[in-house]
Amino acid sequence: MNLIPNFKPKNIVQSIESLSKKGLQVVAQAQKGVDWNSVITATDDFECELGRLTSVNSHLNAVMFTDEFNEQYEKTLPIITNFYSDISSNKALYAAYKNLKNTNLNKQQQYILQESIDGFELSGVGLEGEISDRFKAIKERLSILSNTFSKHVLKSTNEWKKTVTSDMLKGYSEVELAKIQTDEGYELNLQVPVYMDVMTYLDNRELREEVYRAYVSRASELGITSCDYDNKSVMDEILTLRQEMASILGFENYAQLSIESKMVESVEQIIDFLMNLVKCSKSQAQAELDELTKFAGIELQPWDLGFYSEQLKEKKFGFKKSDLTPYFPEKKVLEGLFLTIERLYQVSVTPVNEPTYHSDVQVLEIKKQDQLIGKIYLDLYAREDKRGGAWMADYQPLTKADKPIAFVVCNLNSPSKGKPALFEFDEIVTIFHEFGHALHHVLTKVKYPCAAGISGVPWDGVELPSQYMEFFCYERDVIKQMSEHIDTKKPLPDELYSKLIDSKNFQSAMGMLRQCEFSLWDLKTHLGVKDTYEVLTEVREQTAIIPAIDANRFLNTFGHIFSGGYAAGYFSYKWAEVLAADAYYYVQENGGIGSRASLDFLHNILEKGGSQDFMVSYEAFRGKKPEINALLQSNGIAT
């Protein structure tokens, strides 16, 4: 059993080609199989072997990007895509799966089998001749375009830097200054921790505007090297190919194809859900904006919102975001997180010394009663060679021979000048969120890799454990466990904690509108009728309460949609928030952390993975279907 990934791959093209050939031989045998082991176990085991290699390659390309490695990585994408296309269109293998319906299977196996058969059909197994070839070519091209999109975002983010003097940085504390200090002075860039500081604390309005415009014009025709990194043509081609793919499979548009594998029943149902949230939130959001405008005393522009919001928040609640930061050094935050996980799920999380791909990375062992359950590779800090955002990726699922391994990646503040990394509270929420995903992967009890952890879970269910985990950040006992002032060593005082909780839903309706805007734009863009920026303009007529500037090209960096798994599925965040709020309030009403209810979440959600219908799992935990009021309640929005 090998629990250390190979982080120094070489000859990856040759390795992928060799494994793909082996895989076709495995499939050739499996299509002759007559029982579960000879058909599904055989293909599952091989996909684990291939997945370990492709996962490491993808991971390193995202967190240790170099042009040299990316060149080789891009060569593997068509090979991998074509291999999976060959499997999903293999009619003999499809027939072997269907024949298993007549064998003696348990309930988990029956469910997994039917999901696999549905997957074959959504992957074009019924296509013939030129149409089948075209479908495969579309998938291959989409894999290349997705990587190109990410590469353009990373490079366009890194190309903008600005040297500034201390007198230009009024509003910054020592914490913010430390992030941008160089041997020559101070340098601003577009990495998220630095960008957010500019938008939140920098008095200099002209400089805020300059940084904002640089940030929202990345990977567009307005960027510094627009001809090299403009993503608009990449986006257009992706959307066109997705529409063609959906049409080939008999759907009117890609949104319908995407919804087919979600919990929800139709595009119309989810649009109604989102518009209901807009309706419930808009008047409160307008009141929030009016309050902010009155406070600022100027006509607000997008680069003003974060700055004046932070000042208004300080005035209303008697503290500012940076007051919290000294209480949350990295080591103490992680100790508190690990203890919370232990109390929630009766497992331990312990750092261990093992080889990794970067000195920033920590290796964590997850154990239950001293027995190893799995591992997490934790990569917290922002770097120039690292894709922005935060995510969990699986390296290895639970099998009969191996334990699960996950990668957790964030782009947070790093240690500086001998001082530990200090996290803002929003960053702590992000860490909890990604650990929710990782625990979903690692704590599974399902030993069928295609349904273990998040595998086989509908996309609008995948976000439940992560959104649920966020709620625990705000509990008093949890904050005591993960806070320790860098100087006084005291936990966050009760007075400051009360102010944090009072401010939790500050401008929450504005945030709700923003997320609904993204979700509606995503779905309507994938209806395939209009240019994506035209769709955004129409959606904003219903959702926006402050105009966007003409130079805003945010969509050109929207990796969730164009290089992630959220195409026509971004609504999953809001739908999962409904589930998460409903789940959290239920657990709180029944004893909270460490209660039978919190263990029921483990047993019915995390351990079950994709081995049964996800709503069946949720109702087994909760006793009934979730209700939207829980989401509105958690956001402080009147129902």
Eight-class DSSP state of 416: B
Query: What sign for the dihedral angle of Cα 588, 590, 595, 600?
Result: negative
Eight-class DSSP state of 449: G
Eight-class DSSP state of 562: H
The span from the CA of 235 to the CA of 240, in Å, is 9
CA neighbor of 546 nearest in space, from 238, 275, 309, 236: 309
Which tokens sit at 595? 């209660």
Residue type, 543: T
How far, in Å, are 7, 44, 230, 572 from residue 49 at the CA level? Answer: 15, 9, 36, 30
Write down the residue that tokens 């290349």 correspond to. Answer: 144
Cβ neighbors of 235 (< 8 A, separation 6 or more) are: 149, 532, 555, 556, 562
What dihedral angle (degrees, nearest 10) is formed by the CA atoms of 76, 79, 85, 91? -150
∠ CA(147), CA(391), CA(17), 5° rounding?
40
Which tokens sit at 285? 């959001």
Given a contact cutoff of 8 angstroms between Cβ atoms, the answer to whether 440 and 606 are in contact is yes
Write down the residue that tokens 């956001």 correspond to. Answer: 635
Cβ neighbors of 482 (< 8 A, separation 6 or more) are: 328, 332, 333, 334, 335, 336, 337, 339, 340, 428
**Rg from Cα positions in the chain:** 24
The span from the CA of 115 to the CA of 331, in Å, is 42
CA neighbor of 612 nearest in space, from 114, 174, 131, 117: 114
Beta-bridge mates of residue 399: none
- Give the number of residues written for the chain: 639
Q: What is the CA 102 to chain-centroid distance, rounded?
A: 39
Q: What are phi and psi of 224, to 5 degrees?
A: -60, -45
Given a contact cutoff of 8 angstroms between Cβ atoms, the answer to whether 522 and 575 are in contact is no
The span from the CA of 340 to the CA of 593, in Å, is 8
Which of 434, 470, 484, 607 does the annotation list as catalytic? 434
Pairing state between β 161-164 and 186-189: antiparallel
CA neighbor of 433 nearest in space, from 409, 449, 413: 409
User: Is 434 annotated in the active site?
Assistant: yes
Active-site amino acid positions: 434
